[in-house]
Each structure stands twice: as C-alpha cells, then as structure tokens.
Amino acid sequence: MLSCPICLAQLEQTDTAALCANSHHFDRARQGYLHLLPVQHKASRAPGDSAEMVAARRDFLNSGHYQPLAQQLADYSATIAPRTWLDIGCGEGYYTDHLAKSLPLAQGYGLDVSKDAIKQACRRSKQIQWLVASMAQIPLSDHSCDLLTSVFSPYSWAEILRLLSKNGTFLRLGPAQDHLLELRSKLYEQVRPYDDAKHLQDLPAQLKLTHTEYMRYRLNLSDSTARANLLAMTPHGWRINEERKRSIIEQSIDVTVAVRFDWIQPV
C-alpha cells in the first residue's frame, strides 16, 4: 500500500521504520507517524502550517464549532463503505478522526505536509496511519484508495486520479460563497465574490462530478478565544494588521458557516 517517496517501490513497515527494496529507510517517530517527506520534496525548511496555526485550529475545532461538518463528512463516507481511505491535508486530524470512527473496519490514512500538525494528529487516534508527506507526491500505490477526502485543503488532480480505485470516490469539503461572510466583511474593505465551483475548472476528463450538497448554519462566536483561534487558523488572520485583528477579537460576532460537499468519481 505505502510506496517509497524516492523510488516508488513498495514500502515494508516494521514497528520502528519503513524500508523499500532499494534500501531507502524512513524512521517511525516516537508518536507513531512515518515521515515520508524527503528533503528534495520540501518547498521550505518547515513546510505546512506552523505550530501556532495548528494549535489554534485544534482548540477551535475541539470546541465543536465545526462538529456538524465533521459528522456530515463521516456520515457521507460511511455510505461509500471504503476498504481503504485517505484524508489529504488532514491537519491535526479532527475530521480524520471522525472518519475513522465511522469506518471502523477500513484502513485509514491521514496525510499532511506539516510535521507539527501530524504530531497533534497522533494524539487523536492510533487506528489511523499518520504520514508526513507531500500532497503533490502521495506515497501510496496507484488505485489503492476507495475513498479520498479533502477538507479545506489543497490537492492535486493528478494524484486524485492516480490514487482512486476503479469505483472510488473523492469527497471534497470546501467553502461555499457565503462561508464566514460576516468575518470577511470585517477583515476587508471590499469582499470579492467567491466562485465555489472554481475548483472544477481543472477537473480532468477522466473524472466527473456526480453529486453536490450544501450545508449552512449560523455560528455565534461570543467567546474572544474562539474568535482569535478562528483568525489564527485561517489565512485571513495573517493578512491584516494587528489593530484590525484586535478590534475583531474584541467584538462578539455571528457568522455563517457555509460549505459544499462534492462527490467526484472516475468516468
């Protein structure tokens, strides 16, 4: 199932490492994850979300603000009934853990380029195989996954196409047009219209969109810590000056949570 990120040969796992026939060796961290991100695949010294962003996302999600999204994703995944699944860009593992609980008999993988995120993910579940690896060069065998998921995360269409089994499904959860609109209105002088189908413009001919559903609900952020965490875990919070950030954190706000679920399958 796992493949070497250097030569693509099959990886054999032990309790402490993974090794391919060409003697490429990858140690298993004491937390349990495998680090399958060779230095030549790194875009920076410490790619992915920082420890601060990971902690903010962990605390915000643990407070249950996006629990309806996670549960809906898990429920949808259970209807697919995969034997093997992968959560691409899993972050600190909140959604991945919900998936694992709804798919107890399946082999699950969670992958992220951020080592800080995967270290946190390891604390959530021992059932999942956690991987530090590139989302553009995923170290899994061709057509090995019955289900691929992506939650507010980038991904490669080429890798989706390569990894999906013949009857597999890519289940994507992304923002709808009015997601966090009230927050964005406070952050920016002008809120640009967002096309929530933009990701389908580059959909390969070998894949097709088979179904789309939306979920919306209102979220009251009366706690300043929740507002601070929401800003810190999204790119929005890093694009504004400290004065505007403080003014937002100091004021209670109701926001719209609006997301789109897409089912994408091989033609």
The 3-class secondary structure across the chain, one letter per residue, is CEECCCCCCEEEECCCEEEECCCCEEEECCCCCEECCCHHHCCCCCCCCCHHHHHHHHHHHHCCCCHHHHHHHHHHHHHHCCCEEEEECCCCCHHHHHHHHHCCCCEEEEEECCHHHHHHHCCCCCCCEEEECCCCCCCECCCCEEEEEEECCCCCHHHHHHHEEEEEEEEEEEECCCCCHHHHHHHCCCCCCCCCCHHHHHCCCCEEEEEEEEEEEEEEECCHHHHHHHHHHCHHHHCCCHHHHHHHHCCCEEEEEEEEEEEEEEC
Q: Which CATH class is domain 11-266?
A: alpha beta
* Residue 49: predicted pLDDT: 80
Report the distance separating Cα 114 and Cα 124, nearest Å: 16
Report the distance separating Cα 198 and Cα 48, nearest Å: 23
* Residue 44: predicted pLDDT: 53
* Residue 244: predicted pLDDT: 78
- β-strands 164-175, 253-266 pairing: antiparallel
Cα dihedral 46/52/53/59 (nearest 10): 140
In contact, 54 and 120? CB cutoff 8 Å = yes
Tell me how far the alpha carbon of residue 234 is from its chain's centroid: 13
Report the distance separating Cα 160 and Cα 138, nearest Å: 10
Tokens 């490669």 identify what position? 156
Report the distance separating Cα 142 and Cα 214, nearest Å: 31
In contact, 109 and 129? CB cutoff 8 Å = yes
Give this prediction's pTM: 0.94
Per-residue confidence in pLDDT tens, the chain, 267 aa: 899 999 999 999 998 999 999 999 999 999 999 999 986 555 555 566 888 899 999 999 999 999 999 999 999 999 999 999 999 999 999 999 999 999 999 999 999 999 999 999 999 998 999 999 999 999 999 999 999 999 999 999 999 999 999 999 999 999 999 999 999 888 888 888 889 999 999 999 999 999 999 999 999 999 999 999 999 887 776 667 777 788 888 989 999 999 999 999 999
In contact, 264 and 210? CB cutoff 8 Å = yes
**In sequence order, what are the residues at sequence separation of 6 or more whose Cβ sits closer than 8 angstroms to the Cβ of residue 241?**
none
Write the burial class of residue 210 (CB in 10 Å: 0-12 exposed, 13-18 middle, 19+ buried).
exposed
Domain positions in the chain = 11-266
In contact, 9 and 22? CB cutoff 8 Å = yes
